[in-house]
Amino acid sequence: MSTAFNDPIRAYIVREFLAGEDAEDLTDDFDLIESTVVNSLGLVRLISWISETYRIPVDDIPLEPAAYRTLADIRDFVGKAAPAAPATV
């Protein structure tokens, strides 16, 4: 399992959605949606953060909640996406 120290996506989820809680159960296949760790508002924030942090072109961002079900799912598409040219703003 990745730790927050070497996995920025896990670190983000722990910081933003599990602050103050035990993050030990957050394994790579832990269901973020089913467990309601990430609710509908959280999903919007998560997608927005991934899009901006990894500069993934909007056309390459999956818009189905299923793509964000687990840490492994998220890493999978982030790893495949080519970053867009950095915008000035």
Partner 1 sequence: MAAESAAEQATDTYGITAPYGDELNDDVTRWDRAAEFPHEKWKPLQRSGLFTLPFAPEYGGAGRTLTETMAALEGLGHTSRDAGLNFSASTQIVSVGIPLQAFGSAELRERYLPQVTSGQAITAHAITEASHGSDVMNIRTTAVREGDEYVINGGKLFITNAPVADLFLLYVRTGKPGAFGLSTFLAERSTPGLTIGEPLETMGLRTSPISEVTLKDVRLPVGNRLGSEGAGFLIMDYVMKREVLFSFAVNLGEMTHRLKRVVEHATTRQQFGSAIGKNQAVAHKIADMRIAVETARKWLYDTGRKVEQGKDASLDVAATKILVSEANQRTAQDAIQIFGARGYLTDTGIERELRNAAAGSIYSGTNEIQRNCIAALMGL
E strand or H helix that includes residue 71: helix 71-80
Q: Which lies closer to partner 1 via its Cβ, residue 29 or residue 65?
A: 65
Q: Which lies closer to partner 1 via its Cβ, residue 82 or residue 89?
A: 89
**Least distance in angstroms from the C-beta of 89 to partner 1:** 4
DSSP output for 20-66: TS--TT--TT--TTTTTSS-HHHHHHHHHHHHHHTT--GGGS--SGG
Contacts with partner 1 by CB under 8 A lie at: 12, 16, 40-41, 43-45, 47-49, 51-53, 55, 58-59, 61, 63-65, 87-89
